[in-house]
Each structure stands twice: as C-alpha cells, then as structure tokens.
Amino acid sequence: MTATVWAAIGQFGILLVLLAAVHLPLGAYMARVYSSPHHTRVERAWYRTLRVDPDAEQRWSTYLLSLLGFSLASVLLLYALGRLQAHLPWNLGFSGLDPATAWNTAVSFTTNTNWQSYSGEAAAGHLLQMAGLTVQNFVSAAVGMAVAIALVRGLARSGTDARIGNFWSDLTRGALRILLPIAVVGALVLAANGVIQSLDPHTAITTITGETQQALGGPVASQEVIKVLGTNGGGFFNANSAHPFENPNALTNLVEIFLILLIPSALPRTFGLMVGDRRQGWAILGVMTGLWTVATGLLTWAELAGPGLAPSLAGAAMEGKEARFGLAGTALFGAATTGTSTGAVDSMHDSLTAPGGGVAMFTMMLGEVAPGGVGSGLYGMLVLAVLTVFIAGLMVGRTPEYAGKKIGRGEITLVALYVLTVPAAVLLGSAISVVTGPGLAGIQEAGPHGLSEVLYAFTSASNNNGSAFAGLAAGTPYFNTMTGLAMLVGRFVPIALVLALAGRLASQNTVPASAGTLPTHRPLFVGLVGAVTLVVVGLTFIPVLSLGPVVESLS
Amino acid sequence: MNRTALALPTSPAPAGHPGDGTPPHTPRVRAGRALSWAQVRAALPGAVRKLDPRVLRHQPVTFVVEIGAVFTTVLSIVDPSVFAWWVTVWLWFTVLFAALAESIAEARGKAQASTLRATQRQTTARKVVAGQDTLDFGSRLDLLETTVVPSASLRVGDVVVVEAGETIPGDGDVIEGVASVDESAVTGESAPVIRESGGDRSAVTGGTVVLSDRIVVRITAAAGATFVDRMIALVEGSERQRTPNEIALGVLLTSLTIVFLLAVATLQPFAVYSGQKQSVLVLVALLVCLIPTTIGALLSAIGIAGMDRLVQRNVLAMSGRAVEAAGDVDVLLLDKTGTITYGNRRAARLEPVGEVTRTELAVAARLSSLADTTPEGRSIVDLAEHSIGAGAALPVDAVLVPFSAHTRMSGVDLDLDGEPFRLRKGAGSAVRGWVRSTGARLPEDVEAHLAELVEDVSRSGGTPLVVAEQLGEAPARVLGVVHLKDVVKEGMRERFDELRAMGIRTVMVTGDNRLTAQAIAAEAGVDDFLAEATPEDKLAYIRREQSGGRLVAMAGDGTNDAPALAQSDVGVAMNTGTSAAKEAGNMVDLDSDPTKLIEIVQIGKQLLITRGALTTFSVANDVAKYFAILPAMFVGLFPQLGVLNVMHLSSPQSAILSAVIFNALIIIALIPLSLRGVRYRPAAADVLLRRNLLIYGVGGLIAPFLGIKLIDLLVSLIPGV
C-alpha cells in the first residue's frame, strides 16, 4: 500500500481514538446539563430579560412555538443586519446585501445550513460576521440540540401530558454550557496553529513582486471554531476551510474534523443515559459509525483511486484540492462535512471525482444522520430507528415498540411525514430547476455533471448541510429564493414533526421490555437500521442519481 | 369448503375430510385451509366488483395502480403497440389480483356466515305473562300463564319457558330449572351440555335446542343483537373495522407510495434535461413496480384471515383490536383448577401411620370411597385397587355417610358380623376430633407421625385426607393419610416455558392457601401465583400489571369474573359461562377451554408477523426492480448504464414488462401465505427477527432477481416486445 493510503488510515485512526476518548465524559456532561435543575447567574439574568420561566415544563406545541418564534426573530434580525450593513459600524465599507442574498443568508444561518451565496471577504463586514453570523452559529446549533433532547425526553418520560422540557432553558444551556466552553478552547487551539484572529480590516498590500494583494483580517478563529463545532459550515471567507487563514495546515484540518464530529458523536451517549439504557445509545452510535465509516472509506477510495480521464492523466485527482491536506485529508474532511450537516469544505466538492461526489451527495441524502448535525443527527437517527422498529418489529409478533413506547398510527404518521419532507424538497426543487429558464441558467456544465450540480445544491440546502458543489451559479435571485425555501422546509417541518412525536411519546406509558420485545440494542438491529436507511433513501434517489453521478462514474 | 363453519377441532370430522379427524383438545397450530381453484373461481365475481373505484379508494396502493392502468389503457388505444398492450393488461391483472385476495378471504367468512344463519329460523316463543315484579322476584314462573309470540318480538327482560324439543328463542340466562341443551348449531359440539339456573352455567344461546326438561329463561339480548347475530357479522367481515396496527401500516404504505410517486414524477424533468423524455407508459410501469403493491394488496386479506383462524379454533373475537392485543400480551392470568391442573384432585399416595400396614389402609380407603361417585372418590378406589387388587363390592346394607360442610367427613357404616364397623375419611382435624370423641387417645409417637404426614402433604401442594375406623364401640383408630394431589396437566410446564421464551409471564390464580398454591406453582412452572384469590384480588392484580404498562389476558366464566374480564386487555369468556362474563370479555371460546388463551396469543402474533414479513418482502423487492427498469429506461441515452443490467434481460421493453408481470404474479403467489399466516414457532423476539428477516428480507431481495429473469426468458419470445 502506498504512503497516502497509510496516511488516510492513520488519520482516521487518530480521529476515532480522539472521539472515543471524549465520548463518555462529554456525553455524560451533556446529559447533566439538560437534566440539572440549577441555573447559573448569567442564565437567570438572561431569562429575566426574555421574561420567560425556565422551569415551566412546556407541552410540545408550546415548545415548538417558542422555537419558531425565536427562529423567526433570528431571521428578521439577520436580514436587517445584512440589509442595513452600510449604515452600521465595522462594515469594512461594504454596502448592504441585496434582498435575495440577505433573505438567503438569514434563512441559511438560522437553519444551521450556512449555505453561502455571498462571498465572505467581499460582502460581509466584521459586525455582520460577529454579531450576526457567529451568534447564529451558536444558537442555531443549540436549537438543533434542544430538539434532539426534547425527543429523548419524550422517549424517557412516561405518562406526562406531552411535556417535553423548556425550550428557553434548553437553548440557553446548550449555547452557554456546551458550545461556548468548547468553542473557547477550540479557538485557542486553532489560533495557536495559525488561524488568524484580529479586528483588522482587509487591506491592500504590495507584494515583493510589485503586485497588489488583499491582506485579509478578521475574527476568524472565533468564528471558525463554532462553524465546525456547531456543524454550521459558513466560512468567514469564500474559500471556506480551503482558505489558509481558516485552515492553515494538516493539523488544523484534523482539529476541525474532530470538532465537526465531536458533539454529534457524543449525543448518542447522552441519549443512552437519559433514557436509562446505555445500550440504546451504543446501538445508535453503532449505526452512525457504521454508515459514516463506509462513506469515508468509499470517498477516500474514490479520491485515491481517482477514476476518470483527467485524474489518470494528471496522476492524482488533485484538481480543486489543497496540497497541504492531501487527498486523504480532503476525503476525510468531505466525509465529515457531508455526514454531519456542516457543509464546510476544504476542497471544492465539484472537484471530487465522480463517484466521490456521488458518495458525498448520498451521505447527505441519508438525512445527515451519520453522525449528522448537532442534535439533528440524533433526532434524525432516532426517527429512522422508529421507522425500522415499525417495519421489522412486526416480524416478532408484537405492536412495534421503541424504548418502551408503542409505535402506533399517530407516531408512524409523524415519522412517515418526516421521512417524506426532505426528499420532496430535494426532488421537487431539483426537478423544477432543470426544466425552467432561471434554473438552467445557473448550470455551468451540460450533461450529467450539470444535473449533479443542481441536485447537490438542493440536497445540501434541504438537508441543511450548506456545502456547495460549486460550479452552480447559485447567487441568482432564483436560486437564492428556491434554496432558501428548501432550507426552511428542510429545517422546520422536520423539527415540528419531531417535537410532535416527542409530545406523543412523552404522554405514553413506558412498556417494560421482555423476551418478546424486539431488542433494539443488538448488532442485528444496528445493521437493520443501517439497511432500512440505505434502502429507503436509495429507493427514493436512485432514479435521479443514476442520471447524474452514476452515469458520470460509469463514463 | 363444505365443512361446517364452526366445526370444532373436537368434533368428529365430517365425511370427506378424513384429515381433520384429530383427537379432541390436542393443542396444535393448524395450517390454514388450502386454497382451491373452486374458491378462486367463486371469489372472482366479488373481485371484479371491487374494481369499482369507489370501493378501491379505500386501498390507496391498489387505487394508484388502477389509475395507472386507466392511463395506460388510454395510451394504448391512442398509440397502440404490442408492448403497450401487454403492460396495460398486466397492470389490470395487478389490480384484479389485489381485489381477488380480499375477495377470497371474505368468501370464506361468507360461507361460515350462511351456515350460522341456518340456525336463525323464525321460531316462536312461549312468553310468560305477568307483572314485572313477579318476573323479577317470583318463583315457579313456569306455572304462570304463557302466550305464544314470534321470537323476533322478544325484548330484553322478557321471560320465556322452553321445554324439551323446543328451540330457545333468544340469548338469555336460565332463571329456573335445569336442562340438557344441544348447542351443536353454534359450537359444533354434538354432546349436549347442562344449563341450569343460578350457577356459572346459566347462559343459553338463541337457536340452540332443549333436549330434556324444562327451563325458564330471561332474555338478555334483543332479536338482531344476539350472539349468533354478532357471530355472523364478525365472520362475514361486514362489521370488520381496520385494526390500529393495520391502520398504522396503511399510513406507512401510503407514504411510501407518495415517496415513489415523487421519485417517478420528478424523473421526467430529469430525463428531459438529460435528453431522453420517457413515455408515460414506462413511467407508470416503474411507479407500479415500486409502490408496495404486494403488501398493499394483501393487507386486508391478512386481517380477515387472522379473524378466520380464530373462528376455526372456535374463538369469537368481538373486535379485531383484541386479536392484535393478544399478540402484545405480557401477562397471562390462568385459573389453576381446570386450566393448569385437572379439575379434580386425585389420590396419589397412601401413607399408613404408626404400625398400620399399607394393605390395611388401602382396604379401608377403598371401602370408604366405593360409594363416593366424585372423581376424587373414584381416584382413591383406583389407587387402592392398584395396590391390593379389586375387592368385593359394598354390601347392600351399607349406610353411606355423605360429606357435609359441618362434619367435613364422609364415610360408610357397615355391618361386620353383627358389629357395626364405621369408616371415616376427611380433613385432618375433623377426623381426629371424631377419633377423640370415641374415647381414643393416640400414642405420642403416632400423633407426631400423623401430624408430620399431614404437614408434608400440605406443603407439597396436596390435600391430606385422614382415614380412621371404628369397630363396635371400641375407641376408633387412625389408619393413615390419603395424599390427594392436584395433578398438573401434562405438557403445561413445556407450554409455560414456551410462553416465557416469548416474553409472556404466566400467573396462576387459585383459591388455595399460599402454601398449596406455591407448591403447585412450582410444579407447573408458572412465573407467579395469586393465592386465596378473590375476584377483587384478581382485578387489583390486573390493574397493577396494567399500570406498569403491561397487557394482561385472562379467561373466565363466572359472573364474578366479569369485572376482571372487562378490565383485562384480552378477556376470553367461556361459552359455558354466564352472559355477564360473555358480555364483559372481548372474546368467547365456544369450546370453553381456558388453555386456548395460549393459542389465541399465538394467532395474534402470527397475524402481526405476517404483516411485517410481507411488508419487508414487498419493500425488499424494489431493489431488483430498479436493476431491471432503470437501465432499460436510459440505456439508449447512456450506454454505460448497461452494466447495471445485471440480470442480462433481453431487451429494454422485455425488462420493463417482466418486472410488471413479476409484480402482479407475486401477489397471486402470496395469497395462500397471507391467508394461512407465516409459520410461527414460539421463540424469543431476536430469534424470530433473525429468522423472518432472513426469509422475507433477504429472500425478498433475491427472489425478484430470479423471478424477473425467468419471466424475461418467456417474454422475450413474444414477437414485438
């Protein structure tokens, strides 16, 4: 085997060891955070400002209304910040964003998608970056975690009247007690390794060869860390993590991958502890790890083997990739960013090999559950586990149960709608775009690759990933509006369904497990969830994939 | 099927069906009745009627296929080709097969209903004419004036007199008298049964015939709402409501249909973009192949057949919900007597006390029981004769001393060469009291030995019967102890082990004291027991289990069982029981066999497993269909997609047609399975899952590859395809 292969395996191994080392303590810490009855002084002050009672248990509908209210306020605030940028301080002289871009950006950062139709260094001043985008990076991540915890409570609780916790308390604690401390440490590590952190404006300098170049400045490390930790993905600069000021070397590359996977991979532990059966947590982690390992393996193989004419001529599929990360580092980052809902990139995914791009796309299509975004990965995977229990559970001759909750008509309706929503957004969005004028106008390359570009864009937006395939000219009003809609639908419809599910589950009594209950912690079930996920997603997307990445790969 | 609809497993097999002559009360999971061509032919007209969109609308998956078939028919007319017509015809076959599955399942029920209806001849009733007070509180109502009315006019509360040879006009309770009744019309059981007032055997069913004596019956159900009416409605399926789990599965199937509708509908724009617009015909074919037509077609047939399987075992479920709940049961409450043990205690051992020989005791025990016709008494005679051989009959001048609750002893007084000879047997304290009353004083060691024997028998769950004799007026002497034992039925322990493996706890309910209950519980191998149980205790136990989220099943017959039956999730009332019990339960067992609970649980599980297995099979099938159809659709545009044609199907058109034909034929192929139910062996959940997953999941992946390839070999011979 070549050195590159060993490098790939080595990196992967180090990453797994690091994640394993923090899995138990972080999982337990998060469980404590969301279960503790105590509030810190800062939190109390914040609740007083908001005029909310953090100890009031909310029914799912109230929880959802609080969440939607908060998100709507976030969208409006971000929209205003973007539009009014010219009149606000620290704008680095940039004018306000145009309405379509401001709408797209506001929705994008509130939905934890961080699809960017603007170019950071050419459109966003420091105030917008810090007060707008970075703040949303924290709170949109905290919203996702809150929803996941609410669903976990629904599974853990028994016989309540659909009360699943308090949104304000969950939101605040997630941001202040989990994301903020890790972000501070992470920012210091990144800054120490060369990620810039200043309040300098971008300045033009003259290089020794006499040419003029933009020297970029800004509070990058502080935003970079939450960009990855919160699985947001919106880069300070247009080149995202491929930019040397965001991600200077192979070490920071690995640190960023670690931070991307950190919370999503620890949440199953939190789930296991909160439902009082750690084995359930291991099973969920098992499915996530299995799917992600396969995706990483395939993506790495695709990039290293470099199928296709251009790569074989060039010797390696290096076009559009950074030499300092190498193919292995690029593939690992690609798998991490699409397996979670991050969407940060350290290479242009348009430049992945055809099968590599297909794997990246398919990993997102799984619903970003391997291991998925902060919170959204866990709740997505739990919904799939419930779906699996329903299909397979009947085969043991009992009404299907998950974690002691019966899955009846109401539950399966919510699950079915959840599973339906995102594929509908992806397929309809893509289909409309390939047959209408404004959609076709954005496609850069004809043929299957053009289809891949559009499909990737809507997959990324609907799944709240935010990574771009590049190639597609997505900065048009048409795509800004369409992807904005896809992001909204892909974020809040599933959240509403998950919270409703949590409410239903919380009002059920827990059925004790017996030998007749389908065991949901054994390897067989782990494999089954993986298979159901692959089959359900596969059956939905295979037709369109076969016209895009599959045809490309077979060329 | 000419078999009597409700013929019992215990009834003699009708001529022409020698295979059904199984011995009575043998527990078994019978394979469903085979499907015959005659049945299929008979069900065809019904199936064609079901093609009416207004009827089919309730089966969303099949309805989508029908819409697709209409589309392709129009397309075939507008732009005819051999391929188009073949696809169209097979799409219609798909719809027809789906309708046929339900129709066949319903036809079976209808046959049963018509046999039942035969019992509902228009009859007359002799109604007692008297004031309500007299009817409620009077006695000897049969002596009052009666008037003949049509039985259809009877109301709840009316009182009728029925004599030998007359048909009981409606459901009711016997309030006076005792009679033997032929209930074969309802239960299929030819042996007459005793119905009497006041006990747990007071309920009578309309349409059954009194064979002897005369009874007074108070009507408890109005005409049209009787037991037989309900049975007819149930087996006919006219009152069939979809059960919770069936509805939930329906939701999933509908949403899968929507997913595929989306995937296929959006494929056209992608195809247009890619440069090869697809024909609507091919898209419809793809859609029909992808949506879960197999399980969609068979879903309601599975439900109807599940109810039918219960009826075949002579159990009437008043709701489908109860059948499903049976599969979910966690706790089974079983009465000890008659269910776990034989109804009567049997003599197991003879234990002589002191210097008495075993033969002496055996002779005395035999003599004292010869006149005792109870099963207990007979078992003592059997046991004694087993050790000493058959002896003489009782002399004619023997005086029987019957058991009374007061003396708690029974026995016989004989004349032995002019001297009176008294034999007594009974409870330890009673017999000892009698012995002492004759002036006898037991030696210390004999007293201690006796106490020890009595204690031992009690502790082992048996009943000690002390035997004593008195010759002349001499002091009586104690001979020994007969060990009466509750005999646990054979095979019960194994069945409880099976249930445990299925995750079901069995609880034995008995009126015995704790000590006795414990011993029998241990012998039978139940998980828990409820000793000295009153009806309130039972109810409380059920409530406690339910509050812990468990589902409870029980069987009962008496009026005092009614609250517990109503509270339990699956309450099986015995047909011999009171109307109150039948009213309270959600199932009635016509054989009145409480152990049938176990079979009911298995049928419930089998029903759910069949649904799950066919759903899995249906979804797994889609993978192969993609491999057949997708390359066929786009290979002209992108020749490289040809490598996905792993089955090497002969042409794009034959590939699509083969998938469509396979999709239709698999429905027909699985109708017998859906009617019979998948094979079920009691096992733990993970074992069941592994097995069914292997058969229906992996099998579902592989089968269509083989099937489509085979069909393609034939289809490729059709000219023009």
- CB distance A221 to A187 below 8 Å: yes
Query: Is the Cα torsion angle B249, B252, B258, B260 positive or negative in sign?
Result: negative
Q: Higher model confidence: residue B320 or residue B600?
A: B600
User: Distance (Å) from the C-alpha of residue B637 to the closest C-alpha of chain A?
Assistant: 10
User: Distance (Å) from the C-alpha of residue A413 to the closest C-alpha of chain B?
Assistant: 6
Q: Tell me which residue in A395, A448, A516 faces B613 most closely, judged by beta carbons.
A: A395
Q: Higher model confidence: residue B344 or residue B432?
A: B432
A543–B640 C-beta distance less than 8 A: no
B548–A542 C-beta distance less than 8 A: no
Interacting residues of B240 by C-beta distance below 8 A, sequence separation 6+: B234, B303, B304, B307, B320
Q: Compare all CA atoms of chain B with the CA of A447 and give the residue at the minimum distance.
A: B274
Question: Which parts of B534-595 fold into alpha helices (H)?
Answer: 535-547, 562-567, 579-584
- CB distance A52 to A62 below 8 Å: no
A424 vs B contacts (CB less than 8 Å): 262
* Burial of A2 from C-beta contacts in 10 A (0-12 / 13-18 / 19+): exposed
Q: Compare all CA atoms of chain A with the CA of B283 and give the residue at the minimum distance.
A: A543
Does residue B683 carry a pLDDT above 60? yes
User: Distance (Å) from the C-alpha of residue B101 to the closest C-alpha of chain A?
Assistant: 21
Question: Which parts of B79-181 fold into alpha helices (H)?
Answer: 82-117, 132-137
Residue A371: is the preceding peptide bond cis (ω within 30°)? yes
B550–A396 C-beta distance less than 8 A: no
- CB distance B448 to B430 below 8 Å: no
d(CA A474, CA B665): 48
B686–A435 C-beta distance less than 8 A: no
Question: What is the model's pLDDT at position A309?
Answer: 67
Q: Tell me which residue in A416, A427, A550 faces B251 most closely, judged by beta carbons.
A: A416
User: In the Cβ-directed half-sphere of A136, how many Cα atoms lie within 13 Å?
Assistant: 29
Look up residue B97 and give its two tokens.
Answer: 């097969």
d(CA B564, CA B507): 14
- CB distance B471 to B499 below 8 Å: no
Interacting residues of A510 by C-beta distance below 8 A, sequence separation 6+: A158, A403, A404, A405, B549
Question: What is the model's pLDDT at position A307?
Answer: 66
Q: Tell me which residue in A430, A524, A542 faces B690 most closely, judged by beta carbons.
A: A524
Confidence category of residue A462, pLDDT binned at 50, 70, 90: very high
B645 vs A contacts (CB less than 8 Å): none
- CB distance B228 to B206 below 8 Å: yes
Q: Compare all CA atoms of chain A with the CA of B550 and give the residue at the minimum distance.
A: A511
Confidence category of residue A308, pLDDT binned at 50, 70, 90: low
- CB distance B608 to B591 below 8 Å: no
Q: Compare all CA atoms of chain A with the CA of B328 and give the residue at the minimum distance.
A: A398
Give the 3-state secondary structure of residue B125: strand
Does residue B19 carry a pLDDT above 60? no
Q: Compare all CA atoms of chain B with the CA of A537 and give the residue at the minimum distance.
A: B259
Question: What is the model's pLDDT at position B239?
Answer: 58
d(CA B405, CA B352): 26
User: Distance (Å) from the C-alpha of residue B502 to the closest C-alpha of chain A?
Assistant: 5
B262–A540 C-beta distance less than 8 A: yes
Residue A271, sorted as left (phi over 0), alpha (psi -120 to 50) or beta, turns out to be: alpha
**Residue whose pair of structure tokens reads 């008979």 in the numeric block:** B42
B640–A522 C-beta distance less than 8 A: no
Look up residue B679 and give its two tokens.
Answer: 């094979």
Confidence category of residue B33, pLDDT binned at 50, 70, 90: low
DSSP sequence for A417-469: HHHHHHHHHHHHHHHHHHHSHHHHHH--S-SHHHHHHHHHHHHHHHTT-----
A424–B262 C-beta distance less than 8 A: yes
d(CA B517, CA A424): 62
Confidence category of residue B260, pLDDT binned at 50, 70, 90: very high
d(CA A64, CA B595): 50
| Backbone φ, ψ for residue B204 (5° rounding) | -125, 155
A514 vs B contacts (CB less than 8 Å): 330, 503-505
pLDDT over 70 percentage in chain B: 93
**Residue whose pair of structure tokens reads 């076709």 in the numeric block:** A440
Question: What is the model's pLDDT at position B119?
Answer: 66
pLDDT digits (tens, 9 = 90+) for A496-509: 999 999 999 999 98
Catalytic residue among B335, B486, B593, B622: B335
Of all helices (H) and strands (E), which one includes residue B644? none
A399–B245 C-beta distance less than 8 A: yes
pLDDT digits (tens, 9 = 90+) for B164-181: 888 888 888 888 888 888
d(CA A105, CA B19): 76
DSSP sequence for B268-293: HHHHHHHT-PPPHHHHHHHHHHHS-H
pLDDT digits (tens, 9 = 90+) for B619-673: 999 999 999 999 999 988 899 888 889 999 999 999 999 999 999 999 999 999 9
B549 vs A contacts (CB less than 8 Å): 158, 404, 509-512
A283 vs B contacts (CB less than 8 Å): none
B623 vs A contacts (CB less than 8 Å): 535, 538-539
Interacting residues of A36 by C-beta distance below 8 A, sequence separation 6+: none
A551 vs B contacts (CB less than 8 Å): 634, 638, 640-641
Does residue A451 carry a pLDDT above 70? yes
Least confident of A216-230, A458-472, B386-400, B493-507: B386-400
Question: Which parts of B316-443 fold into alpha helices (H)?
Answer: 320-328, 358-369, 375-388, 428-437
Q: Tell me which residue in A509, A515, A524 faces B689 most closely, judged by beta carbons.
A: A524
B591 is catalytic: no
B618 vs A contacts (CB less than 8 Å): none
A420 vs B contacts (CB less than 8 Å): 255, 258-259
Confidence category of residue A242, pLDDT binned at 50, 70, 90: very high
User: Distance (Å) from the C-alpha of residue B652 to the closest C-alpha of chain A?
Assistant: 16
Q: Tell me which residue in A395, A538, A547 faces B688 most closely, judged by beta carbons.
A: A395
Question: What is the model's pLDDT at position A531?
Answer: 93
A390–B248 C-beta distance less than 8 A: yes
What is the rounded average pLDDT for all residues in chain B? Answer: 84
* Burial of B149 from C-beta contacts in 10 A (0-12 / 13-18 / 19+): middle
User: Distance (Å) from the C-alpha of residue A486 to the closest C-alpha of chain B?
Assistant: 16
Mutate to test the interface with B, among A365, A384, A398, A472 (most CBs of B within 10 A): A398
Mutate to test the interface with A, among B247, B261, B266 (most CBs of A within 10 A): B266
Domain ranges of chain A: 3-204+214-554
For residue B543, the Cα-to-chain-centroid distance in whole angstroms is: 23
For residue B416, the Cα-to-chain-centroid distance in whole angstroms is: 56
* Burial of B243 from C-beta contacts in 10 A (0-12 / 13-18 / 19+): buried
Query: Is the Cα torsion angle B39, B45, B51, B52 positive or negative in sign?
Result: negative
User: Distance (Å) from the C-alpha of residue A481 to the closest C-alpha of chain B?
Assistant: 20
Confidence category of residue B34, pLDDT binned at 50, 70, 90: low
Q: Tell me which residue in B286, B550, B693 faces A395 most closely, judged by beta carbons.
A: B693
pLDDT digits (tens, 9 = 90+) for A6-59: 888 999 999 999 999 999 999 999 999 999 999 999 999 999 999 999 999 999
Q: Is the ipTM of this complex over 0.90?
A: yes
pLDDT over 70 percentage in chain A: 99
| Backbone φ, ψ for residue A224 (5° rounding) | -60, -40
Q: Compare all CA atoms of chain B with the CA of A398 and give the residue at the minimum distance.
A: B328
- CB distance B572 to B554 below 8 Å: yes
Name beta bridge partners: B471: B421
B549–A511 C-beta distance less than 8 A: yes
Mutate to test the interface with B, among A309, A365, A389, A396 (most CBs of B within 10 A): A396
d(CA B600, CA B326): 7
A396 vs B contacts (CB less than 8 Å): 605, 609, 612, 685-686, 688-689, 692
How many contacts does A have with B, using Cβ atoms within 8 A?
Answer: 209
User: Distance (Å) from the C-alpha of residue A283 to the closest C-alpha of chain B?
Assistant: 15
- CB distance A288 to A369 below 8 Å: yes
Torsion on CA atoms A304, A305, A310, A314, rounded to nearest 10? 60
Mutate to test the interface with A, among B270, B302, B625 (most CBs of A within 10 A): B270
A395–B686 C-beta distance less than 8 A: no
Q: Tell me which residue in A395, A407, A435 faces B689 most closely, judged by beta carbons.
A: A395
Give the 3-state secondary structure of residue B374: coil
Instruction: Return the amino acid letter for A333.
Output: F
Q: Tell me which residue in A391, A419, A543 faces B630 most closely, judged by beta carbons.
A: A543
